[in-house]
Structure 1
Amino acid sequence: MTAPQAPSIPAATSRPPGLPRSLDYPAVPVGSILRAAVGRWGDRPAFVEDDVPLTFGELGARAHAVANWLADSGVGRGDVVAVHLPNCRQYPAVYYGVLLAGATFSPTNPLLPAADLAAQLTDAGARVLVTWDQVLPLVRTALAGTSVETVVVTGQAHVADLGTRLDGLAPGEVDLAHLLAADPTDRHLDAGLDPAGDLAHLAYTGGTTGVSKGVELVHRNVVTNVLQSACWVHGALPELDAAGDVTLRQVLGAEEHPIRLGEGRLINLTPWFHAMGAIGYLNGLVLAGTTTVVHRRFDPVRYLEDAVRYRVTSIGGAPPVFVALLQVPGIGDADLSAVRGVSSGAAPLPVPLIERLRTLLPGAVIGEGYGLTEVTMQATGNPSFRSGTRKPGTVGVPVFDTEVSIRPLGGGSPLPPGERGEVCIRGPQVMRGYARRPEATAEAIDAEGWFHSGDVGVLDEDGYLSIVDRTKDMLLYKGYNVFPRELEEILFGLPGVAGAAVIGRPDDEAGDLPVAYVVRRGDEAGAALTAGAVMAAVNERVTPYKRLRDVVFIDAIPVSAAGKVLKRELAARERAAVAGG
């Protein structure tokens, strides 16, 4: 008698059907993305803020005006322009204007303290700073000793009318309205750039765990990663238009990708000074002809109202965005039927949160991606086509032309599937290096071109990557490695928990005591939470050395503008408490 065979498990479908594993990346500067979009999408709204639209055609004219003003002022190839702005309707014109002039874009968080701003401007060698009028007093104190020669100022007044003149500027400060009103013709100032050698972005690492470093990204890095990401998301291939500029050809049909090029609508909260913002939520959306509604601050209630009003087709952001949205009263009754895609990045999305989003948005594909500033933006992604296999808890598989390897934390040969180690990435989107830091560059990128991320991950048999934690977040309890992410996943699955972060409390005998900071939800389950109940619920599911030693309730988990948890702030709080006895 023949023994019954176990049912076969279908192989994971991770690659877009009909698309090659390798793409052809045109050797064009970043400005080519805008030129093609202007020609293709023309009168379609590109960006909308406070109900005031900016069409693709208008964006092109404004961007060329900025480029021409900069060029006429002697700013061009090799010069760094620091952009110190929140997301606003005028930001895209400034961004593309800098690159069309042949200069280098260096994004700067507008909330940086004066000393940190001065340090970044000095490290970047910025000649021009574009800033926001509300932070001018801080900026003026930061400029002494930097290489900044020109300060361009914009503000809320320009959101409603790009021609409005600002009041109260000091001598030497220039109103952005002058730049936006300059010659709008395309002089092809970037025609002489070398995409493989000239810097497009000088982007600074988030600094969530230490001092920021300048990441050098040439035009080829940026164009390549925009195409890797956009082709992955839209089931498309790169192609050149009649003018030789880069655009997309959607290969997969509406049954796999119901959001068609030129039809997408999305609310963006991701800061454009962050890698995910500049690549995915600026360049990627312009390339795809998406209409982007700009929200400068996250107001969950307003976000939901606009999502319904504009009938958004996609929702994207970092995990804290989804946590807050799910708590908006009445969200279950809101008409979100147009949403066909949900994408998360910047930090891992807890599996319980994914399940709640699935219940709310049954018609949407929910996927995560993974990347870092040092790989321009994206390295992996879950399949975005409807028949693809998405594995909750993973960040997908490597995108086009990208390799991911798991290596021992102390160095060594690649580990087999299922074993934890450091995530290493190789591909055409890997940075040139850290600006003026050859030793740091050599430490991060080995002789074979592998970038060592500092993140701890594991690959499964199908090549799907799970991020376990950052090596710098890992706790050492009595000699045992404790990964906070594992505990945080359990915490997010508990009724009443809206947010959570696990850090180490210094202890002379044990090393790091695992401590959870928890945000209660605003419902009965949240009100009923106690520290003892939370600890018991977590500790019964983990081995003894991983157990929580304390639970601290907090109003909000501190996060960066990009949505990454600032564990250093919680760790500083713990150190201060221990020092204070």
Structure 2
Amino acid sequence: MMPNFWSDKYPEGIQTDIDLDRYRNVLAVFREACQTYAERPAFSNLGRTLSYRELYELSGQFAAYLQKHTDLQPGDRIAVQMPNVLQYPVVVFGAMRAGLVVVNTNPLYTAREMQHQFKDSGARALVCLANMAHLAEQVLPQTDIRHVIITEVGDLLPTFKRLLVNAVVRHVKKMVPAYRIPHSIRFVDAMTKGEHVDFVDADPAAEDVAVLQYTGGTTGIAKGAMLTHRNLVANMLQCQVLMTKYLGGGAQVMIAPLPLYHIYAFTIHCMAMLIQGNHNVLITNPRDLPALVKELRQWRFNGFVGLNTLFAALCNSEEFRQLDFSQLKVTFSGGMALQQSVALRWEEVTGCGICEGYGMTETSPVVSFNPLERRRLGTIGVPVPGTDCKVVDADGVALGFDTPGELCVKGPQVMKGYWLRPEATAEVLDAEGWLRTGDIAVIEPDGYLRIVDRKKDMILVSGFNVYPNELEEVLSQLPGVLQCAAIGIPDEVAGEKIKVFVVPKPGASLTTEQVLKHMHDNVTGYKRPKLVEFRDSLPTTNVGKILRRELRDAELKKA
């Protein structure tokens, strides 16, 4: 299929032509947005709101510090390890303005994971939250990092509130373990050094790397996807196709509970919302549902960006169900499969349907979306403009409609390659620019895409392919199920047998017999689980995606 196959698959009013030469780099977008929407709110967190003008000024201060008070050079990598706080966009855009490459780093990483990413990226600088500075202290001697800037949660709040919030986090909640990094500098001191200092804004080429975005590492060692300025700008413009129709006309309020260091939230909130002049409300800890609901109560929000596990948890909250959703126009879902039962429940609670999309780190990340007025539950919609998709068999031969195969993607948002890993790049990216996603998908005759499952998660039972997504979709429809996961474990007779894990809703009383009967009634024989395990929780990634691999590894250790 070529991109024009999908040209008539979009609703009326959606612009399908993308001008990839409109902006030379991310900084051109940033500069235009901050000038055009100078007095509009850009980001809010912990009671403070930064306007686009303030964001531009503060990022300039940080860029000036980097240029004038360090020996960092354009192209050097800077690791940014923060949750959703106001410092994040200031640091990221400031680093880019100084000509540096941003290495987004999960603040929940262990010392081992931090060391791998810092060493692999060759980062020479680190900006981290004080809460994990003790881990940084352990690994810094094994890295090339020579510049460390340490920030605390409240550093961009007004002075009195900053001192109060930081004191509570450090001394009352005791969330900052002791550390000693002699050559580090406090973020507030770095910002002071950069104030009223002239610097030269970088002007990187379109093909220069803007961000090293590491894959989740859920299927092996995390690799750094080289996302260029062109990649990010292209995906921003592709997302804008959707945003303009649903979130145009003023400073729309977007709730940002997913971490900005993850590519999904990064592109939506730091890129697509930027060009629209919209307002992002940063949620620092979305796992604290009562605090999240309390924050939501303060806003008449127009958009919500989340994923399946978060939607399910919120809909199970009585306080959330009592919120005012009258201004909610659109909800975006990505990061993991959206279960239909969860989507229907969300729409019932909020009155707003969910637009499910699909993407991956290597595609900056958005590949496809469900237009709001043509949503089709169970699909990931149609490719964003300028994107081509096909499904192939094991030999790389393209398959027809309604035939499962590995999804391949081609478009301007596809990464340059993996950092320092030409062999790994060659395994997924061919000479024509086609990226093998590792996902099994189906292309329907009218152009909608449907993900069947991850290729590596497929279960083989007596020669039959079984896809965990299907089993989890069915199991989630059993009353009383909050979360679930299905995996294959070794079996002498069938090769693999199916085991399901179930997290019941609070107060629900579920039995193994009920689960097995439900599955018996809804799936064919070889797809039925043989084992059921109830749990209080399931292992998840930082954005809430259930880690089937951890469940499989634990089962293998038992054997």
Determine if the TM-score, normalized by the shorter chain, exceeds 0.5.
yes
CA distance in 2, matches of 1:70, 1:561: 29
Q: CA deviation at 1:20?
A: 4.2
* Aligned amino acid, residue 504 of structure 1: G
Secondary structure of 2:374's aligned partner: coil
Q: CA deviation at 1:381?
A: 0.4
Secondary structure of 1:194's aligned partner: coil
Structure 2 residue 50 is the aligned partner of structure 1 residue 22: no
Query: 2:188 matched to which residue of 1?
Result: 177
Say which of 70, 76, 81 aligns to 1:84.
81
Structure 2 residue 338 is the aligned partner of structure 1 residue 349: yes
Where in structure 2 are the equivalents of 1:196-275 lying within 5 Å? 196=207, 198-235=208-245, 257=246, 259-275=247-263
CA distance in 2, matches of 1:336, 1:400: 30
* Aligned amino acid, residue 190 of structure 1: A
Secondary structure of 2:94's aligned partner: helix
Alpha-carbon displacement from aligned partner over 1:161-185 (angstroms, at most 9, x marks no partner): 4796999764210111133231367
1:85 and 1:108 in contact (8 A); partners too: yes
Secondary structure of 2:142's aligned partner: coil
Secondary structure of 1:535's aligned partner: helix
* Aligned amino acid, residue 511 of structure 1: G
Secondary structure of 2:123's aligned partner: coil
1:261 and 1:290 in contact (8 A); partners too: no
Secondary structure of 2:484's aligned partner: strand
The answer to which of 222-231 and 24-33 deviates more is: 24-33
Query: 1:489 matched to which residue of 2?
Result: 473
Q: CA deviation at 1:478?
A: 2.0
Q: Higher helix share goes to which structure?
A: 2
Structure 2 residue 137 is the aligned partner of structure 1 residue 127: no
Structure 2 residue 95 is the aligned partner of structure 1 residue 95: no
Structure 2 residue 455 is the aligned partner of structure 1 residue 471: yes
* Aligned amino acid, residue 446 of structure 1: D
Alpha-carbon displacement from aligned partner over 1:313-335 (angstroms, at most 9, x marks no partner): 11211111101001101444332
Where in structure 2 are the equivalents of 1:295-306 lying within 5 Å? 295-298=283-286, 299-306=288-295
* Aligned amino acid, residue 307 of structure 2: A
Say which of 106, 115, 119 aligns to 1:118.
115
* Aligned amino acid, residue 480 of structure 2: G
Say which of 62, 66, 70 aligns to 2:62.
66
2:137 and 2:180 in contact (8 A); partners too: no
Say which of 286, 295, 299 aligns to 2:274.
286
Say which of 400, 416, 430 aligns to 1:432.
416
Query: 1:325 matched to which residue of 2?
Result: 314
* Aligned amino acid, residue 298 of structure 2: R
* Structure 2 length-normalised TM: 0.92
1:423 and 1:453 in contact (8 A); partners too: yes
Say which of 378, 381, 384 aligns to 1:393.
378
CA 1:440–1:520 in structure 2 vs 1: closer, same or farther (change >3 Å)? same
Secondary structure of 1:321's aligned partner: helix
Alpha-carbon displacement from aligned partner over 1:139-174 (angstroms, at most 9, x marks no partner): 110111211111110012314247969997642101
* Aligned amino acid, residue 312 of structure 1: F
CA distance in 2, matches of 1:156, 1:392: 39
Structure 2 residue 358 is the aligned partner of structure 1 residue 378: no
2:114 and 2:139 in contact (8 A); partners too: yes
CA distance in 2, matches of 1:219, 1:476: 41
Secondary structure of 1:564's aligned partner: coil
Structure 2 residue 265 is the aligned partner of structure 1 residue 277: yes
Q: CA deviation at 1:187?
A: 4.4
Query: 1:406 matched to which residue of 2?
Result: 391
* Aligned amino acid, residue 464 of structure 1: Y
2:67 and 2:199 in contact (8 A); partners too: no
CA 1:21–1:377 in structure 2 vs 1: closer, same or farther (change >3 Å)? same
CA distance in 2, matches of 1:399, 1:60: 30
Unaligned runs of 5+ in 2: 1-5, 171-178
Q: CA deviation at 1:463?
A: 0.8
CA distance in 2, matches of 1:562, 1:13: 34
CA distance in 1, matches of 2:16, 2:240: 14
Where in structure 2 are the equivalents of 1:36-75 lying within 5 Å? 36-72=32-68, 73-75=70-72
Secondary structure of 1:472's aligned partner: helix
1:268 and 1:295 in contact (8 A); partners too: yes
CA distance in 2, matches of 1:349, 1:186: 48
CA distance in 2, matches of 1:286, 1:180: 23
CA distance in 1, matches of 2:276, 2:511: 48
1:370 and 1:395 in contact (8 A); partners too: yes
Structure 2 residue 511 is the aligned partner of structure 1 residue 530: yes
Structure 2 residue 321 is the aligned partner of structure 1 residue 310: no
Secondary structure of 1:31's aligned partner: helix
The answer to which of 324-333 and 417-426 deviates more is: 324-333
Q: CA deviation at 1:477?
A: 1.5
CA distance in 1, matches of 2:354, 2:307: 13
* Aligned amino acid, residue 28 of structure 1: R
1:64 and 1:185 in contact (8 A); partners too: no
CA distance in 1, matches of 2:314, 2:45: 20
Query: 1:155 matched to which residue of 2?
Result: 152
CA distance in 2, matches of 1:442, 1:46: 39
Q: CA deviation at 1:374?
A: 0.5
1:41 and 1:262 in contact (8 A); partners too: no
Query: 1:501 matched to which residue of 2?
Result: 485
Secondary structure of 1:86's aligned partner: coil
CA 1:332–1:110 in structure 2 vs 1: closer, same or farther (change >3 Å)? closer
CA distance in 1, matches of 2:248, 2:23: 26
Query: 1:109 matched to which residue of 2?
Result: 106
2:369 and 2:382 in contact (8 A); partners too: yes
1:266 and 1:314 in contact (8 A); partners too: yes
CA distance in 2, matches of 1:211, 1:261: 43
Say which of 135, 140, 156 aligns to 2:137.
140
Query: 2:537 matched to which residue of 1?
Result: 556
CA distance in 2, matches of 1:98, 1:397: 35
The answer to which of 293-302 and 445-454 deviates more is: 293-302
Q: CA deviation at 1:37?
A: 1.8
CA distance in 1, matches of 2:8, 2:325: 28
Secondary structure of 2:155's aligned partner: helix
The answer to which of 506-515 and 367-376 deviates more is: 506-515
Q: CA RMSD in A?
A: 2.1
Q: Report percent identity of matched pairs.
A: 34
Alpha-carbon displacement from aligned partner over 1:473-501 (angstroms, at most 9, x marks no partner): 11111222111011011011111111111
2:41 and 2:251 in contact (8 A); partners too: no
Q: CA deviation at 1:13?
A: 7.5
Alpha-carbon displacement from aligned partner over 1:46-100 (angstroms, at most 9, x marks no partner): 1111212111111111101111111112323210001011111111000101111
2:346 and 2:353 in contact (8 A); partners too: no
1:12 and 1:389 in contact (8 A); partners too: no
CA 1:46–1:20 in structure 2 vs 1: closer, same or farther (change >3 Å)? closer
Secondary structure of 1:293's aligned partner: strand
1:492 and 1:498 in contact (8 A); partners too: yes
CA distance in 1, matches of 2:432, 2:303: 38
* Aligned amino acid, residue 556 of structure 2: R
CA 1:425–1:271 in structure 2 vs 1: closer, same or farther (change >3 Å)? same
Query: 2:494 matched to which residue of 1?
Result: 510
